[in-house]
Amino acid sequence: MNDDLSRALQSLAGRLVEIAGRDDGLRDDLRALASALLAATDRPEDVSEPVAASESEPAEVGPVATPSPTPPAPLPELTLGRSPAPAPKPAEIRIDRGTSDEDLPGVEARCRLKAEGIRWAVSRRRWIDEGSDFAFEVAPRDRDILDRARSAGCFLWMNSPDFSVPDDPSPLEDAAGCYEAVADAVALVRGLLPNVERDRRFFEPALDLLAEAQSALRVAIERVDDRKDPEQFAAYDWLRGVAAREQIYIRRFMRLDDPASPSGHPNIQARIEKLDAGLQETLRQGKARKSLLSKARYHARRVAGDMGDDYDWGKIVASVDALIAGGEAASNVEVREILLPILDRMPDLEDPPRNLQLVLREIDRYLAARRTAAEPAPPEAPTAEVVEAARLLGGKSVVLIGGARRPEAHDAIRRAFNLKELIWIETREHESIDHFEPSVARPDVALVILAIRWSSHAFGDVKAFCDRYDKPLLRLPRGYSPNQVAHEVVGQCSERLAPLPEA
C-alpha cells in the first residue's frame, strides 16, 4: 500500500477512535459498520429441506427447486470522515418567506467562507500534487474549514468529495472573487440600511453594485459546476424585495439575459471600495459638522444668558467659519437660528472671517424678506440717547450704507430721529463704490452710517468720500434699532454734529 495512503488511513482511524470515545452516535455507527462487515463475510447457510425416504417406489417427478439463500442485509452507507453529500441540484431555489435584512449578515459570512473554500480547494490540489504530507498538512486544513462551515450552516460544495478541481483554476479564481464581491457589496448595503433616506445617494449605487456582483457570481458558478448557489439567490431575492420596498429601479443585471462578467469582479470591488470611502468621508464630515454646531450652540446660549465674553464669541465665529469652509451653505437654517437671537450682542469685529460675512449677509437678506408681523411689536421707549440724536439730526438727511433695505427699520429710524430723509443704499459684493458719491455729497446729508456687519465694503473705502465732503462717518456694528443707532451716534459723532456756537 502507498505509504501516504497508509499514513492517512492510520490518522483517520486514530481520530475516529478518539472521537468515538465521547460521541455515542459515532460509536453506534462504528459498531453497525463492524456488524455489517462481519455479516458480509459469512457463508450463506443451505436452507433447502431434505426429501423424506419412501418405502414405495417414488413417483417420477421433476427436479426439486432449491430455494435461493437469503441475501445479507445491505451495508449502511459509509459516510464517516467526509462532508455531507450535496443536496440534489434543484432546477430552482425557492425561499418562501423571502430574504430579509436580518439574513444579510449570514449571506455575507457564507460568501466569504465559500471564497476561502475555493482558494483552499485550488491550493489543496497543488499541495497534494507536490507531495505534501496529507495527514499533517492537508487534513488539518480540511477539518478547520469544514468545521467552520458546519458552524455557519454552509455547504462548501467546492470542498466536497464530489468536486474535482479543474486543471485550469482560472474559472475558480473568478468565482472566489465574485463571492468576495457579493460579500463586500452586502457589507456596504448593511451599513446603509439604518439611514436609507439620509444616505440614499450612496444606497442606490450600492444596490446597483450588489446586482452586478450577484449576477457575475451566478455566471461564474454555472461555468465551474453548473449549480444554483443559495447565497447568490439570496442576494438576488433580497434585491428584489428592497427595490419594491424602497421604490427603487435597478436597471441592470437582474435578468438572465443581462449577465455580468465574472472576470469583472476586480472592477466591481474597486467601485465598492470607492463608494464606501465616499460614505465614510461623508459620515466623518457629518460627525465634525455635528460637533461644530453643538459647540456654536453652547457658546451662543452663554451669550444669550449674559454669561458670554470674547472667548465665547471667538468660539462661535470659529465654528461658523469652519462649517461654511466644510461645505455648509451660508444660508444654512441651523447656523442662522444659532446667530439670530444673539445678533445684536455681536461685538465689533475688526476683521471678521470671510465665511462669517457671507452668513451675516444671508441673515440680512432673510430679515429683509421676512414678512412684517401682523401685529408689529410696539416701538421701544426712546432713551435719552435717542432724544439727543434726534436733536442733532432732526430735519437733516442721513445716508445709510448697508445690506438689504428693511422697510420697518427704515421707517423706525426716520421717525425716531425726525429725519428729512433716510437714504438707504444697498450694497453688493464686488460692486463699485462710485455710485455712493452723489448721495454723500448732498448738502442736506449730515451723517453717513456704514452698517459694517452687512456691508461688503471696507471702512476705508467709504471714509475717502466722507473726508472729501467733510461728512462724519459712523460705524454701526450692531442692529438697526433706533436705540442702538442712537447709542453709536452719541458715542461717535456728537461733537461733529453739534451746532457751532453763535459768534
pLDDT for res 58: 39
Q: What is the value of pTM for the model shown?
A: 0.60
Express each pLDDT in 456-493 by its tens digit.
Answer: 555 567 888 899 999 999 988 877 889 989 999 999 99
Answer yes or no: is pLDDT of 376 > 70.
no
Query: E strands of 330-459, at which residues?
Result: 397-402, 421-426, 445-451
Alpha carbon 351 to its chain centroid, in Å, reads: 39
Cell of 203: 444606497
Amino acid at 450: L
Q: How many helices (H) and strands (E) does the chain have?
A: 16, 4
Is the confidence at residue 350, as pLDDT, over 50?
yes
Q: Per-residue pLDDT tens for 53-63?
A: 333 333 443 44
pLDDT in tens, 256-314: 999 999 999 999 999 999 999 999 999 999 999 999 999 999 999 999 999 999 999 99
Burial of residue 156 (CB within 10 Å: 0-12, 13-18, 19+) is: buried
Q: Is 470 helix (H, G, I), strand (E, B) or coil?
A: coil
pLDDT per residue as tens digits for the range 168-202? 999 999 999 999 999 999 999 999 999 999 999 99
For cell 462481519, the residue is 38
Q: Helices in 130-169 by DSSP H: which ranges?
A: 139-152
| Distance (Å, whole) CA 421 – CA 394 | 10
Tell me how far apart the alpha carbons of residues 295 and 451 are, in angstroms, rounded to a whole number. 28
Per-residue pLDDT tens for 33-83? Answer: 766 666 666 555 444 444 443 333 334 434 444 445 555 555 444 444 444
Going by C-beta distance under 8 Å and a sequence separation of 6 or more, which residues neighbour residue 139? 8, 11
Q: All 3 cell numbers of residue 404? A: 438689504
User: Residues 259-276, buried b or exposed e (16+ Cβ, 10 A)?
Assistant: ebebbbbeebbebbeebb
Q: Which residues contact residue 346 at a Cβ distance below 8 angstroms, ignoring those fewer than 6 apart?
A: 313, 339, 453, 477, 478
Q: What angle do CA 344, 347, 349 make, to 5 degrees?
A: 125
Contact indicator for 215, 180 with CB cutoff of 8 Å: no
pLDDT (tens digit, 9 = 90+) per residue, 396-451? 999 998 878 888 889 999 999 999 999 999 877 767 778 888 999 999 999 999 88
Alpha-helix residue ranges (DSSP H) falling in 305-401: 310-325, 333-339, 354-369, 384-393
449 and 474 in contact (C-beta within 8 Å)?
yes
Phi, psi of 58, rounded to the nearest 5 degrees: -65, 145
Residues 6+ apart with CB under 8 A from 178: 213, 216, 217, 220, 262, 265
The domains located in the chain, with CATH, are 101-260 (no CATH), 284-369 (no CATH), 384-497 (3.40.50.2300)
Q: How confident is the model at residue 130 (pLDDT cuts 50, 70, 90)?
A: very high
Instruction: Report the distance separating Cα 190 and Cα 228, nearest Å.
Output: 24
